[in-house]
Amino acid sequence: MSDLDEAVHFAKKAVEATPLHHPDWPVHMSTLGNQVGARFDAAGAPDDLEESVKTLRRACEVMADDNQGRRTAILDNLAMQLRQKYASAGDVTALDEAIRLSRQVIASTPEGDAKRTDRLGNLSIVIGDRYQQSGAILDIEEAIYISQQCIGATPRYHPDYPIQPHNLSILLNYKSTRTEAMVDIDATINTVKQAVRAIPKTHINYATILDNLATQLGHKYQKSQRQADLDEAIETARKVNQSVANDHPNRPRHLHNLSKHLAERYGRTKKLHDLNEAIKVAEEAVCALQHEGVHSVAKTSIDLISSSTPLSLQHADKQNIVLHHASRISSDVAAISLHFSKRPAEAIELLEIGRGIIFGALQDLRTDFPLLQEQHPELASSLSQLRRQLDTPTSHFDAFLKGNPASGKLGFEADRRREAAEKLQSLIREIHMQPGFDRFLRATTEIEMLEAAVQGPIVILNESVHRCDAFLIESNGIRVVELPGVTLELIWAQAPQSLETLEWLWDLIGMIGLVFGGFQRVRWRGSLFMLQDTI
């Protein structure tokens, strides 16, 4: 039993040994919620996060009104666990609740309280999260204002002081990315420099903050095209790589950033030493990643996306997290699979898992539904009922919640949706046990791919930051070719859904046709996925 497991075990024992109406019972519940939350932070098990949220909610409901300080502390912890729920699963309902509770926490924390600055920081973070999700400019302005208050309230000699300007710089970067105004870019860089000056080089977060500075300087160069900005980005990126160990997990990314900046400077100055150094650093980055374990980790990530995209999310939230993450990661994992010489069928299966996540979440699980209705009408009826519960808009519950402010049932809707999602997962497992339905909502097998190509070859195009490929599925086998001259940057450079984009895609299709000798059907993956209906 690990230390965290042991802590959770004894926290549960304390709850069980304390009568429900004893004043210490909510205190023990709060401790349990925090310990389970800490275990989620360490291991990432979704069930731990759900248990932590439920336990902290229950502790809030039972805590006596005259113990305001303790109740406020529990609310603060609950808000942060809800923020984790949003960060891990994209649950916007949880994020909105986290903001609401954080505002309650600030209102209950008096000026001069030692915890007020940390709690203000938490509020700025969750409001910043909402800006990233919604794009509302008022959110980022408020988050920046609150974060500035945190800096002003933290003494420069305090060990946590460097983190305050670092957090503010992240929020300022959100704003500068949107406005592209040089004044906002400079404000971001100056704030990061403030953090770099304040943090000791031996601090665990030194490389992270320095890397942030290198990134922001690179952004400034893209806007200004001033070589002085690029030179500063390169020198800062060098310092980042000098500050991390050779086996540091982020070293490949840091090396890649340095190589990219050096290549940019070579393109500007044509100085051979910049090109040679860029190539050398890029080779170091590749060597740092060149092992079979990368493929194993990448393959696991696509499975994690499937399990960490709860069906209890609302439809708009699914479109945001599922389309972005499932499409991108399935494309990347398929590309990595090919890089390590895995069979083309295995790479396509990974793409199909991503496709199943997308359509399972966004198309109401209708893929195999007609056959289920015909052979198992009761299961089909239960499936439809649960889907209707999950697709009910938030506004349907708003009147109930606002009309019962004293009910104490925080997050009633979120829990109800999660319970419906758990029932749905159980129902799908039952459907898999029925004869002929073991593949219900699952990825296409290689045999099924080949059978689908009997009526004519199928081409699947996949683009990724790692490589871009075309798969040709025929009834007698699967071929794959890496597309010459096609990169993710080139695809992104095309104006989405414009006439020029469509012309470029037709040229791409023509090139693939020459390679494969003709085809009838095309499927898109990655950034091209959403354009397939326009071609």
Of 382, 391, 389, the closest CA to residue 434 belongs to: 382
pTM over 0.75: no
Q: What is the pLDDT of residue 395?
A: 39
Select the more confidently predicted residue: 184 or 527. Answer: 184
pLDDT tier at 526, thresholds 50, 70, 90: very low
- Mean pLDDT taken over the chain: 79
Inter-CA distances, 49 with 31, 42, 53, 121, 482, Å: 14, 11, 6, 22, 41
Q: What is the pLDDT of residue 76?
A: 96
Other CB atoms within a 10 A radius of the CB of residue 497 amount to 10
Q: What is the pLDDT of residue 149?
A: 95
Greatest alpha-carbon pair distance for the chain in Å reads 78
pLDDT at 103 over 50: yes
Instruction: Tell me the average pLDDT across 239-261.
Output: 89
pLDDT at 442 over 80: no
pLDDT tier at 359, thresholds 50, 70, 90: very low
Is the CATH code 3.10.20 the one for domain 446-534? yes
Q: What is the pLDDT of residue 212?
A: 94
Question: SS3 sequence, 130-178?
Answer: HHHHHCCHHHHHHHHHHHHHHHHHCCCCCCCCCHHHHHHHHHHHHHHHH
pLDDT at 288 over 90: no
Select the more confidently predicted residue: 309 or 508. Answer: 508
Residue 198 has which token pair?
A: 């304040």
pLDDT at 210 over 80: yes
pLDDT tier at 358, thresholds 50, 70, 90: very low
Q: What is the pLDDT of residue 347?
A: 81
Ranking 29-43, 447-461, 470-484 by mean pLDDT, the lowest is 447-461
Per-residue model confidence as pLDDT tens digits over 135-150: 999 999 999 999 999 9
Q: What is the pLDDT of residue 78?
A: 97
Q: What is the pLDDT of residue 294?
A: 52
Domain ranges of the chain: 3-212, 296-432, 446-534
Per-residue model confidence as pLDDT tens digits over 325-350: 556 667 777 887 787 777 888 788 77
Architecture of domain 3-212: Alpha Horseshoe (1.25)
CA 173 to the chain's CA centroid:
18
pLDDT tier at 87, thresholds 50, 70, 90: confident
Instruction: Tell me the average pLDDT across 236-261.
Output: 90
> Is 464 buried (19+), middle (13-18) or exposed (0-12) by CB count in 10 A?
buried
What type of residue is 22?
H
> Can you tell me the distance from the alpha carbon of 52 to that of 32, in angstroms, rounded to the nearest whole number?
8
Which residue, chain included where needed, has tokens 């497991």? 5
Select the more confidently predicted residue: 151 or 343. Answer: 151
Ranking 62-66, 108-112, 166-170, 494-498 by mean pLDDT, the lowest is 494-498
Other CB atoms within a 10 A radius of the CB of residue 18 amount to 16
pLDDT tier at 403, thresholds 50, 70, 90: very low
pLDDT at 292 over 90: no
Does residue 456 contact residue 466 with C-beta atoms inside 8 Å?
Answer: no
Per-residue model confidence as pLDDT tens digits over 301-330: 454 444 444 444 554 554 454 445 556 667
